[in-house]
Amino acid sequence: MSSRRSRQLSSGASRITDDQIIQLISKLQQLLPGTRIQRSNKSSASKVLQETCSYVRSLHQEVDDLSDRLSQLLSTIDANSPEASIVRSLII
């Protein structure tokens, strides 16, 4: 274990063990879509973290794209129309 990891972050913080890190990486890997990391293969922690970062970035991009599409949709419909009512009920 590195000295950096073995140091406490503050007086009240507890240390995380290598086993806990392995468990957390494993849980994180399970959250990733199967097409990104083959679950049958043991992946390195750095690979799991890289793939996680990539996946989170793609999710952010998807949210941005959907937000843009929603804004475009809302700008094309009458605010008092039944369609606008439906859209508002979905996003509230």
Q: Say if 67 falls within a structural domain.
A: yes
Q: How many domains does the chain have?
A: 1
Q: Say if 72 falls within a structural domain.
A: yes
Structure confidence at residue 58 (pLDDT): 96
Q: Say if 50 falls within a structural domain.
A: yes
Q: Say if 25 falls within a structural domain.
A: no
Q: Model pTM greater than 0.85?
A: no
Over residues 4-32, the pLDDT tens digits come to 544 444 545 689 899 999 999 989 998 99
Q: Say if 4 falls within a structural domain.
A: no
Q: Say if 31 falls within a structural domain.
A: no
Over residues 33-89, the pLDDT tens digits come to 875 445 555 678 999 999 999 999 999 999 999 989 888 888 888 888 888 888 878
Q: Say if 37 falls within a structural domain.
A: no
Structure confidence at residue 6 (pLDDT): 46
**48: exposed, middle or buried (Cβ count in 10 Å: 0-12, 13-18, 19+):** buried
Q: Say if 82 falls within a structural domain.
A: yes
Supply the range of the domain harboring residue 87. Answer: 45-91
